[in-house]
Amino acid sequence: YEGAEAGYCTASGMSAIAGTLMQLCSSGDHIVAGATLYGGTYAMLHDYLPEKTGVRTTFADPTDHAEIEAAFTPQTRVLYVESISNPTLAVADIPALAEIAHGRGAKLVVDNTFAPLIVSPIPLGADIVVHSLTKFVNGASDIIAGAIVGTTEFITTLMDLHHGSLMLLGPTMDPKAAFNISMRLPHLPLRMKEHSRRAQFFAERLQEHGIDVTYPGLPDHPQFEVLRRIGNAEYGAGGIFTVDLGDTRRANEFMEILQNKDRFGFMAVSLGYFETLMSCSAVSTSSELSEEDQRKAGIRPGLVRVSIGYTGTLEQRWKQFEDALRILNMI
């Protein structure tokens, strides 16, 4: 699916990220990372690695290439971004970022968890791609797993007996988990197409109602043209959209109506499930960021991330969503 030479499956998405960065960086090295990342990744870069390893990170807007380039230092070894950012859904221009990274002698590492099949970072210039397989790739929210793909040379170094991060830290995927996920890979293309089809439908309907919705498949999305240029169009623009309810209280009320009254989906911090999963990012998957860092990253207090499932008919699910909007007098 990624077009890489080799890969290695790990026990979680975070172990894939940690193993990759610890292999590429040594004490005193520097990382440039997108300002909007999964909260666990942010905490590792912002807090854990500086304290434990002396590796420091500068965060920059991944869509502002001048800001990204200005963040580089002579010690920068890695440029780290998400293909579609969590939860703001900014789309990384991977060819442009690869040019910046390679021009400074750094590796481009892309977390492609939000966009399997939709974006193929390796052919676009990325050196290494990481995944939380827990999400869309597995698709059933019942297994925790991760993956690293890249060159054969890099994957081999991860398994070096004396200096390999995966060999020595031990985050190997459980064999039963590997088998179960492998049985779900053949229908990943079908699942991604349906996730995207439904997300596109919801985003367009919400926009028609004047709701503050963000989705990379909408023409007014800031990186709509970027995704059209770098994406694999047959798989759409992804299964995630966000709506801004204004504040955390209203966001929670909205999700509770959808979960408890309409049985639309579940309030949960995962994504890529066959049922719809909803979360208020500021107090869940992005809670590791300070309020100031959330503001800089564009994560507003009432932002609800919706990972749309594919159970039930599309019209049935839309009516349930519309019902919750009416109860809150939003339409």
pLDDT, tens digit (0-9, with 9 covering 90-100), for 181-210: 999 999 999 999 999 999 999 999 999 999
Quick one: average pLDDT of 206-217? Answer: 97
| Identity at 46, one-letter amino acid code | H
Query: Which tens digits make up the pLDDT trace of 263-321?
Result: 999 999 999 999 999 999 888 877 887 888 888 878 889 999 999 999 999 999 999 99
Percent of the chain, pLDDT > 70?
Answer: 100
Six-digit token string for 71? 């963040």
Query: Which tens digits make up the pLDDT trace of 84-103?
Result: 999 999 999 999 999 999 99
Quick one: average pLDDT of 212-226? Answer: 98
| pLDDT (0 to 100) of residue 285 | 74
pTM for the model: 0.96
pLDDT band at 2 (very low <50, low <70, confident <90, very high): confident
Where is average pLDDT lowest: 69-73, 184-188, 217-221, 281-285? 281-285
Sequence-ordered alpha helix ranges (H) in the chain:
13-24, 39-43, 49-53, 65-70, 94-103, 121-124, 152-158, 165-169, 175-182, 188-208, 224-230, 248-256, 291-297, 314-327
CATH 3.90.1150.10 positions along the chain are: 190-327
Is pLDDT of 1 > 80? no
| pLDDT (0 to 100) of residue 175 | 96
Is pLDDT of 142 > 90? yes
First to last CA, the chain: 41
| pLDDT (0 to 100) of residue 294 | 84
CATH 3.40.640.10 positions along the chain are: 6-182
DSSP 8-state secondary structure symbol assigned to residue 83: S
pLDDT band at 33 (very low <50, low <70, confident <90, very high): very high
Cα separation, 209 vs 291, whole angstroms: 30
Summary mean pLDDT of the chain: 96
| pLDDT (0 to 100) of residue 286 | 79
Tell me the Cα Rg of the chain: 19
The CATH H-level (homologous superfamily) assignment of domain 190-327 is Aspartate Aminotransferase, domain 1 (3.90.1150.10)
Kindly report the CATH number that applies to the domain delimited by 6-182.
3.40.640.10
CB 147 within 8 Å of CB 178: no
CB 191 within 8 Å of CB 137: no
Six-digit token string for 229? 């240029």
| Identity at 212, one-letter amino acid code | D
